[in-house]
Amino acid sequence: MRLADGEGRSTSPRRPTGGARTPDETLAPDDWAFAYNRRVSQPSRDVLFDFDDVRVGAILHADLAIPPGVTVIFGPSGAGKTTLLRLACAMQAPSSGTVSFRGEDIARVDPVLLRRRVTMVTQQPFLWPGTIADELSIACVLQGRGAPDRERMGEVLAVVGLDKDLAEDASTLSGGERQRVARARVLLA
């Protein structure tokens, strides 16, 4: 698994099985391991997520800090990417260790409040039946706020790179378009 910022630069050195490697060293797929190590000397609010010796059974061992600006987590199948994200959103609890968000142990935070601050767009996001505008409105409406105006919806669609009419049926979208609508929904909420 690798972490990357918006420019595609690696931001987290790992400790693969078989010995230490430098952060700049390129790893072949066979070199990937499921243990990650990048600690900071002291917890800081500049650290977005801190996985302090977190274990999930035999699936994942993470001991790393994720700084703000990480926009991508990628790696081979089975590397623990989804597990790491589920831990970050408190959708799964670690077997041991502590997951913190901006210095706060998420085990002590109401999951609903945490998920209002930390969102995850899955590879195959759920979309409600209806138009793209309906989809973009639903999160705001469910939070007790009014639906955003159509101009704002259009602006957010442009930000996520989706050039579609708001009146289009969301069920007709491709997988990538569905992901963009889900990202836009998060930005509006």
Render pLDDT for 104-125 as a digit per residue (tens, 0 to 9).
Answer: 999 999 988 888 788 778 788 9
Which residue pairs, CB below 8 angstroms and at least 24 apart, start in 168-172? 168/131, 168/132, 169/130, 169/131, 170/127, 170/128, 170/129, 170/130, 170/131, 170/132, 170/134, 170/135, 171/127, 171/129
126 is written with which tokens?
A: 């759920």
Contacts of 40 (CB under 8 A, 6+ apart): 47, 50, 65
Percent of all residues in the chain with a pLDDT value above 90, rounded to a whole number: 40
88 is written with which tokens?
A: 């970050």
Q: Kindly report the pTM of this predicted structure.
A: 0.61
pLDDT band for position 171 (cuts 50, 70, 90): very high
Neighbour-count burial for 125-151, b at 16+ CB within 10 Å, e otherwise: bebeeebbbbbbbbbbeeeeeebbeee
pLDDT at residue number 44: 53
Render pLDDT for 4-57 as a digit per residue (tens, 0 to 9).
Answer: 544 545 544 333 333 333 344 333 333 333 344 444 444 455 788 899 999 998
Render pLDDT for 132-146 as a digit per residue (tens, 0 to 9).
Answer: 999 999 988 888 888
pLDDT at residue number 80: 85
